[in-house]
């Protein structure tokens, strides 16, 4: 009898230890995945994350949970992901934003965004679209440059943030065209776009998702996009290169990253699921409504692309002598 009790206890103990082990060996994911957006709710990265959040459960047994951790231009939330457990349950949406590709050229960062994070997939690229008011006499970048040269006056432009993608792009255009463009920085894309809508500046730059409502309303005329090729969400708008100005930037890149030490098979699972999301018809419709082009890349290609974008921005910042001192 005693023996029976002891043996059953032993079995119970062994089972008790085995069960969690069995669970932990269970296929990823076995619990909801936290997705950190290092920007405020309602912004373009947040909208993207929420679009993915909505479609994700179609292709994964566990849902995504979007958490906004804004602050420090994106650094606070990103650092949180860098320092979190590398198990694939804490991801970062917005990888490739200004604080990844621009900021490290200008200031010291509390982490190395390329060494401390693993690229999972690229979802979208938010290009810089240069717009003017509907009543403006400019119908192209050439018109604007001709006016500035003839009148010998500076062009004023609202930009989302100082030394952000829009600021750098428009400053680079000014240099390439040989005219003086004064960029007026704001504390976010919405403020900058509103200022242009009020006609307080001559031109302004913003991502398609920010300027699209005003283009549709006939309040803005889009003059150019700054990508090397046309932006799928603004197919009728010519690039700066097409208009004879050798300027391109990658705007703000929106991808997904995980802490660097995340197991390879987990990253592959996440990438594969995100690929399915990107090919989903409902997701495509959603992204069209948000004016965000789907530009999927797998983890390896995305990591290479990021290096290229980071290098390109570094070169521009050096050429234009941009500092934040």
Nearer to another protein, 189 or 251 (CB): 189
Least Å distance, CB 98 to another protein, is: 10
* CB closer to another protein, 229 vs 289: 289
Q: Minimum distance between the CB of residue 149 and another protein, rounded to whole angstroms?
A: 17
Instruction: Name the site residues for another protein (rule: CB under 8 A).
Output: 40-43, 46-47, 50-51, 53-54, 66-73, 75-76, 79-80, 106, 110, 154, 156, 161-163, 182-187, 190-191, 193-195, 197-201, 212-214, 216-219, 285-286, 289-290, 324-325
Contacts of 165 (CB under 8 A, 6+ apart): 98, 101, 102, 128, 249, 250, 251, 252
CB closer to another protein, 38 vs 88: 38
Contact 239, 225 (CB under 8 A): yes
| Whole-angstrom distance, CA of residue 267 vs CA of residue 89 | 11
- Report the residue number, 183 or 239, with the smaller CB distance to another protein: 183
Q: Work out how close the CB of 111 gets to another protein at its nearest, in angstroms, rounded to a whole number.
A: 10
Q: At CA 307, angle to CA 44 and CA 59, rounded to 5?
A: 50
For the chain, strand residue ranges (E) read: 33-37, 64-68, 90-95, 117-126, 129-133, 155-159, 181-185, 203-206, 220-225, 252-259, 294-298
Q: How far apart are CA 49 and CA 42, in angstroms?
A: 10
Instruction: Compare residues 36 and 240 and give the one whose CB is closer to another protein.
Output: 36
Looking at the Cβ atoms of 71 and 263, the one nearer to another protein is 71
Q: CB neighbours of 84 closer than 8 A, spacing ≥ 6? A: 90, 259
Residues contacting residue 168 through CB under 8 Å, at least 6 positions apart: 102, 249, 313, 316, 317, 320, 322
Phi and psi dihedrals of 58, rounded to 5?
-65, -30
The answer to whether 96 and 66 are in contact (CB under 8 A) is no
CA distances from 38 to 47, 55, 234, 248 (A): 12, 21, 27, 26
CB nearer another protein, residue 133 or residue 299 = 133
Q: Residues 155, 237, 240, CA angle at the centre, nearest 5°?
A: 55
CB of 217 to another protein, least distance (A): 4
| In the complex, least distance from residue 162 CB atom to another protein, rounded to whole angstroms | 3
Q: Which is nearer to another protein, 209 or 239 (CB)?
A: 209
**Shortest distance, position 73 Cβ to another protein, whole Å:** 6
Task: Kindly state the smallest distance separating residue 187's Cβ from another protein, in Å.
Answer: 4
Q: CB of residue 166 vs another protein: minimum separation in angstroms?
A: 13
């Amino acid at each position: 009898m005693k023996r029976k009790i002891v043996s059953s206890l032993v079995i119970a103990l062994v089972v008790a230890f085995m069960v969690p082990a069995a669970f932990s060996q269970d296929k990823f994911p076995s619990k909801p995945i936290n997705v950190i957006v290092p920007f405020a709710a309602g912004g373009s990265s947040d909208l993207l994350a929420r679009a993915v959040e909505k479609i994700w459960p179609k292709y994964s047994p566990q849902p995504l949970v979007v958490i906004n951790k804004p602050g420090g231009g994106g650094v606070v939330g990103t650092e949180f992901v860098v320092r979190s457990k590398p198990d694939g349950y804490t991801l970062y949406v917005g990888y490739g934003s200004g604080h990844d590709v621009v900021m490290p050229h200008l200031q010291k960062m509390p982490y190395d965004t390329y060494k401390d994070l693993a690229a999972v997939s690229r979802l979208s690229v938010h290009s810089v679209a240069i717009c003017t008011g509907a009543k403006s006499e400019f119908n192209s970048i050439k018109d604007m440059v001709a006016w500035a040269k003839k009148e010998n006056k500076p062009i004023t432009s609202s930009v989302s943030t100082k030394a952000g993608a829009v600021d750098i792009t428009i400053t680079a255009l000014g240099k390439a065209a040989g005219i003086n463009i004064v960029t007026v920085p704001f504390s976010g894309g919405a403020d900058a776009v509103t200022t242009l809508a009020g006609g307080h500046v001559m031109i302004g730059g913003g991502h398609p998702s920010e300027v699209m409502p005003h283009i549709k309303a006939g309040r803005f005329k889009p003059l150019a996009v700054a990508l090397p090729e046309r932006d799928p969400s603004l197919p009728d708008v010519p690039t700066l290169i097409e208009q004879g100005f050798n300027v391109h930037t990658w705007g703000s890149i929106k991808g997904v990253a995980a802490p660097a030490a995340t197991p390879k098979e987990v990253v592959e699972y996440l990438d594969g699921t995100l690929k399915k999301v990107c090919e989903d018809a409902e997701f495509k419709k959603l992204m069209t409504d948000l004016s965000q082009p789907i530009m999927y890349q797998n983890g390896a290609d995305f990591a290479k692309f990021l290096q290229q974008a980071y290098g390109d921005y570094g070169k521009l910042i050096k050429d234009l002598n941009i500092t934040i001192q």
